[in-house]
Amino acid sequence: MAAATLARRIGRSGVAVMKFKSPPVNSLSLEFLTEFSISLEKLENNRACRGVIITSALPKIFSSGLDITEMCGKSIEHYTEFWRAVQEMWLRLYGSNMVTVAAVNGSSPAGGCLIALSCDYRIMAENPKFSIGLNEAQLGIVAPFWFKDTFVNVVGHRIAERSLQLGSLHPAPEAHKLGLVDELVPEEKLMEKAAAVMAQWLALPDHARQLTKTMMRKAVLDRLVAHREEDIKNFISFVSKESIQKSLRMYMEMLKKKKS
Burial of 23 (0-12, 13-18, 19+ CB in 10 A): exposed
Q: How many CA atoms lie within 13 A of 148 on its CB side?
A: 15
Q: Which one-letter amino acid corresponds to residue 130?
A: F
CB of 222 to ligand LCXROUX7, least distance (A): 19
Q: Check: CB of residue 60 under 8 Å from CB of residue 23.
A: no
Is 26 one of the catalytic residues?
no
For ligand LCXROUX7, give the closer residue by CB, 10 or 236.
Answer: 236
Say whether the peptide bond before residue 24 is cis (omega within 30 degrees of 0): yes
The smaller minimum CB distance to ligand LCXROUX7, of residues 45 and 260, is found at 260
Instruction: Give the type of residue at 204.
Output: L
Q: Contact 71/248 with Cβ under 8 angstroms? A: yes
Decide if 151 contacts 109 (C-beta within 8 A): no
**Residue 68 or 178 with smaller CB distance to ligand LCXROUX7:** 68
Residue 238's identity, in one-letter code, is: F
**Of 30, 65, 136, 180, which one is the catalytic site residue?**
136
Residues that bind ligand LCXROUX7 (CB under 6 A): 24-25, 27, 61, 64-69, 107, 109-111, 135-136, 139, 141-142, 144, 234-235, 238-239, 252, 255-256, 259
Count Cα neighbours of 257 within 13 Å in the Cβ-side half-sphere.
6
Nearest distance, CB of residue 80 and ligand LCXROUX7, angstroms: 13
Q: Which of 66, 93, 114, 169 is catalytic?
A: 66
Nearest-CB residue for ligand LCXROUX7: 65
Distance of closest approach, residue 49 Cβ to ligand LCXROUX7, in angstroms: 27
CB of 216 or CB of 226, closer to ligand LCXROUX7: 226
Which of 111, 112, 133, 167 is the catalytic position?
111
Residue 169 C-beta: closest distance to ligand LCXROUX7, Å: 8
Is residue 66 annotated as a catalytic residue, yes or no? Answer: yes
Q: Please report how the helices 206-226 and 228-239 are oriented relative to each other, as an axis angle in degrees rounded to 10.
A: 60
Give the nearer residue to ligand LCXROUX7 in terms of CB position, either 94 or 235: 235
Helix (H) / strand (E) containing 36:
helix 30-44
Judge whether 68 and 141 are in contact, CB under 8 Å. Answer: no
Closest approach of ligand LCXROUX7 to the CB of residue 205, in Å:
36
Alpha-carbon gap, residue 148 to 117, rounded angstroms: 10
Question: Which residue lies nearer to ligand LCXROUX7 by CB, 65 or 95?
Answer: 65
Kindly state the smallest distance separating residue 88's Cβ from ligand LCXROUX7, in Å.
15
Side chain identity at 255, as an amino acid letter?
L
126 is catalytic: no
- Catalytically active residues are 66, 111, 135-136
